[in-house]
Structure 1
Amino acid sequence: MNNQQSNQYPHYQVIIVGGGQAGLSVSYYLQKLDISHIVFEKNRVAHSWRNDRWDSFCLVTPNWQCRLPDFPYQGDDPQGFMLKDEIVEFVEAFAEKINAPLNEGVAVTRVRRGKQGWLEVTTSVGEFTADHLVVATGGYDIPIVPDYAHSLPKHIAQVHSVNYRNPQQLPEGEVLVVGSGQSGVQIMEDLHLAGRKVHLAVGSAPRSPRLYRGRETTEWLYDLGFYNLTVDKHPLGDAVCHKTNHYLSGRSGGHEIDLRKFALQGVRLYGSMNSINGTMLEFKPDLTRNLDEADEVYVRIREEIDRYIAENNIDAPEEPAFEKLWEWKSESGPVRIDADAAGITSIVWAIGFRPDYSWIELPAFDGKGHPRFRRGVSNAEGLYFIGLPWLNTWGSGRFLGIAEDAQYLAGVIHDKLEAVQSQTCTSRRPAVA
C-alpha cells in the first residue's frame, strides 16, 4: 500500500472490483509487475459459480479450454465438461496458487473522480483511492423479467434462471421455460429428463453442432481461429457484443441440442414470449423463423469446417447432409394459450440479465448503460473492464481468453504508471545552468 501526501484514505495504484477468475487473473499479472493493488470481492471467490447456477449445471465448453494464467486444466478428462462444483474448485485453486491481495465480503458501492484526479472508491469497509480501477464484476447483475409478468396470478410460480436449482423446486404441474439461450435450453432439458411436461418459448438464439466429422466442434473452431477473432474484425462490429451465444450442452459427456428433436419427444414449442394478461399467455408468430435461423447457423458452422478440411487436405470422416427432423407449420398469427387450461403451474424466465454499473460515477457508458471500451480500456481515464463477452475476441469472457485480456490490461496500466513516474521525475529535475 502506498499512502500519498494530502490523501487521508489508503491508496493503491490499482483497485480490482471482483474476485472471480477475471479479477484474479489481472491480479496475477499486476503482482508480476510489482504494482500495488487490492482485490475487493463482495461475496466469496467463485461466488457466481457456486450460488447462481442450477444443481446439474456444467460448462458447454470442454475442459481443455479451462485456462487461467499459468494455470491450465490439470485433470484427466480434457474432453469432458466441468460440473458446477469442479468449476468452483478450479477457481479456488487458482486463487490459492497466486495468493492475491484478496478481501472477501467487501462491497464496492461508489466510484467517482476525486479532486486530486485519483479515483475515490467507497466500500462497505471504508474509503480508498486508486490511480486505476479494474471492473471484473461481469455483466450479469440484474435478472431480466418483463413488466407484464406482474399480471400473472400468484398461483403460478415464477423463478428466474439465476434462482432455478432443480425440477423438485417447482410445484407439480407443467412448466413454461421462456428463452432458448444456453440457460433456457439446458433448464428445459433438465426438466424434461426429470419427467416434467415442458413448454418452451423459443427466441432467436443460434445453435451449434457438438461433434462433427470426427472431432468436437470447438476443436475445429479453435483451429479455424474463431476464438481469436477480434471484435473490430467481426462483420457485426460492436453489435456482436450483445448477441446470444450458440446453444448446446456439456451434460452427460456433451451433445448438441436440436429443439425439433425435443418437440418430437413431447416438449411443446412456441415463438418468442409476447405478453401475459392474467392466465392468458401470448407468443409471437416467429417459431418457424427462429428454428430455421438457428439451423442456418448450425449448417454454416458445418460448412466452415468442411471448407477448412478441404483446404488443408485433412482426412476426416464424411457426415450426411443436414435434414430437419420435423417441420413446424407456419403460424398465421400470435399463439395464445391459457396457462390454467394447459396445466402450467410455473414459469422459468431465462431471458438474460442487465448490467448494473450505477455505482460507477464516470462518463464511461452508452445510453443503455453498457460500458464503452477498446480491449477493456475505458474512455474514462483510469477505468478498465474485464471478463465481458467480446472484450476483445470471441474467447473473451471465457476461461480460454481471460489470460490474454488480463495480461494486456496489466501492461497498459504498467505503461501509464511508468509514464506518470517519468513525468514526475522530469518535473523535479533541477534546471541546468
Structure 2
Amino acid sequence: MKEKKYADIIIVGGGPAGLATAYCLQKLNIDCLVVEKNKVGNSWGNMPKYWRVVSPQWTNMLPGSGFPYSSPFSKPWVNSYREYLLQYSKINSIKVHEEINIYNVLQIDNCKKFKLTSDDLDFECKIIVSATGYYSNPYIPSLPRGDDDSIRSFHVSEYFSPERLKKLFPHCTKILIVGRRVSAGQLLTDLSKHDFSLSISARGSVSPRDGSFKGKIKDFIYFPYEELKVKLNPNIYADSFPHMDGGKTEELLKEKIVTVHSNIVGIRDRHVVFEDGASDKFDLIIYATGYKPSLAYLKDIVRFEDDGDMPIIKDMHCSDIENIFFIGLDQIYNFRSRYLRGIRKDAVVLANDINVALRKIK
C-alpha cells in the first residue's frame, strides 16, 4: 500500500509560480506542500546554455526577495536564475517533495477533499494549486501535407547549445527554424555565431523589436510603464506574446543572412514545402513553436475549453470545481500572468484568495 501525505494545500509544480505561491501562503501561516516531478527549478536548468531571461532582474524577483540593487536592469542567464530559485526555496524553508509525478486528481470525501495520485505516493488536500506552467509540454504543429521523417527535427526545448548540436549532428550545415517569437530569435542569434546556413519559416511576418538606441530606451522605459499600467488596472488583458529581440537578430534578417520562408506545410524526400509553393532541402529542423499548458493530470476532473488546452478559469479560480486554483498560465489574471513579472504579483493575490477559501472550508 502506498504511503499517503496530507496538507491543507498542495501546490503542483516547483518552478517560480509554485515557489512564489508557497512563500505567500507561508506568510499567512497556511500549511502547504509543493510537489515537483523533477527538481526545483528544473525547467530553467534545462534551458539553452547561452540564453537569458527576457525581462530585467528587478521584474523577476519573487515575493520576499527584495530589490536587486547590484544589477536591477541586467537580464540574468537562465542557469543563474535556476540557482536563484534553489536558494529561494532553501532560504524560505519551502516544503517540497521532488521527483514525484502527479498523474491524476480526483475528488474524495463527498467532494470535500482531493486525492492526487503518483507512482510512489498519494496526497490528500483541501485545495489544489496548479503551477505546472508550460515548459514540460512542448508543441510541434502537425503539417497539412504530412512529414515523411526524412529530415531530422526536434523542439527547441531539447536544444542546449551550438556546441552540443554540432556533436549530435556533425554533418549538419543547413538548418530551418520554425517560429517567429522570442525563442526563434534567440536560436538565430545563438546559431549565427557558428558555420550554419540558417533559414526561418513563420506563420505571418517576422518582426524583431527595434534594436536601435531609440528602441533600447523604449524597452528600458517599458517595464516601469507596465507596472504603473497594471497597478491602475490589475485585470487588464492584451496581447501577451512578445516579438523576438532586435539587435543581432534584426541585423541577420535585414542583411538577408537568414532566409525567410512562409509557413511550413509538408516534408518529403529531405525537402521542406512551404505555403507559397517554394521548396528547399535542409539537414535539420528546429521547432520554436511554443508550448501548451502542462495539465494532463487534471483531465479527469477539470472542464477544458473547446481547444482542449486551457481549463475554464476566472481570476485564477477554476470555474466549475471549487478549490482548484491556477497560476502561471496566459491571461488568467492579466496579460502578464504567464511571465515572471506577472507570476510574482499574481502569487500575492492568489494566496489571499486561498486564505478566504480555506476559511470557508474550515
Q: TM-score, normalised by structure 2?
A: 0.87
Q: Which has the larger radius of gyration?
A: 1
Secondary structure of residue in 1 paired with 2:329: coil
| 2:266 aligned to which of 272, 275, 300 | 275
The number of aligned residues is: 346
What pairs up with 1:54-69 in 2 under 5 angstroms?
54-69=48-63
Contact 2:323 2:357 in 1 (8 A): no
Contact 1:228 1:393 in 2 (8 A): no
Higher helix residue share: 1
What pairs up with 1:336-415 in 2 under 5 angstroms?
336-339=278-281, 344-360=282-298, 361-369=300-308, 370-379=310-319, 380-415=321-356
2:120 corresponds to = 125
Distance 1:405 1:113 in 2: 26
| 2:17 aligned to which of 18, 22, 34 | 22
**Within the alignment, does 1:416 sit opposite 2:354 as a pair?**
no
Q: CA distance change for structure 1 residues 377 and 40 in 2, over 3 Å: closer, same or farther?
A: same
Percent of aligned pairs with the same amino acid: 23
Distance 1:142 1:66 in 2: 23
Q: Once the 2 structures are TM-superposed, how far is the Cα of residue 411 of structure 1 from its aligned partner?
A: 1.0
Distance 1:283 1:85 in 2: 36
1:292 corresponds to = none
C-alpha deviations, 1:27-71, integer Å up to 9, x for none? 1111112212211011111100101x1121111212222221021
C-alpha deviations, 1:48-102, integer Å up to 9, x for none? 0101x11211112122222210214536222221112211111112111211111
What is the RMSD of the two structures over their aligned residues, measured on CA atoms?
2.5
Report the residue type matching 1:418 in the other structure: R
What pairs up with 1:294-305 in 2 under 5 angstroms?
none
| 2:250 aligned to which of 245, 258, 268 | 258
C-alpha deviations, 1:117-159, integer Å up to 9, x for none? 1111112322221110001000233322234464131xx3212
Q: Once the 2 structures are TM-superposed, how far is the Cα of residue 256 of structure 1 from its aligned partner?
A: 7.1
Secondary structure of residue in 1 paired with 2:7: strand
C-alpha deviations, 1:192-216, integer Å up to 9, x for none? 1223210111333664335537725
**Within the alignment, does 1:77 sit opposite 2:77 as a pair?**
no
Secondary structure of residue in 2 paired with 1:71: coil
Q: Once the 2 structures are TM-superposed, how far is the Cα of residue 23 of structure 1 from its aligned partner?
A: 0.4
Q: Once the 2 structures are TM-superposed, how far is the Cα of residue 231 of structure 1 from its aligned partner?
A: 8.4
In the alignment, structure 2 segments of 5+ residues that lack a partner are none
Q: Once the 2 structures are TM-superposed, how far is the Cα of residue 396 of structure 1 from its aligned partner?
A: 2.1
Contact 1:29 1:410 in 2 (8 A): yes
**Within the alignment, does 1:172 sit opposite 2:166 as a pair?**
no
Q: TM-score, normalised by structure 1?
A: 0.73
Distance 1:150 1:214 in 2: 41
What pairs up with 1:269-348 in 2 under 5 angstroms?
269-284=260-275, 334-339=276-281, 344-348=282-286
Distance 2:142 2:341 in 1: 36
Report the residue type matching 2:274 in the other structure: F
Q: Once the 2 structures are TM-superposed, how far is the Cα of residue 375 of structure 1 from its aligned partner?
A: 2.0
Distance 1:353 1:56 in 2: 20
Report the residue type matching 1:406 in the other structure: A
C-alpha deviations, 1:345-394, integer Å up to 9, x for none? 11111111222423212233212221221221111211111112323223
Report the residue type matching 1:174 in the other structure: K
**Within the alignment, does 1:95 sit opposite 2:89 as a pair?**
yes
Secondary structure of residue in 1 paired with 2:175: strand
1:50 corresponds to = 45
C-alpha deviations, 1:252-281, integer Å up to 9, x for none? xxx47427x525152111112222233332
| 1:245 aligned to which of 242, 246, 257 | 242
Contact 2:57 2:68 in 1 (8 A): no
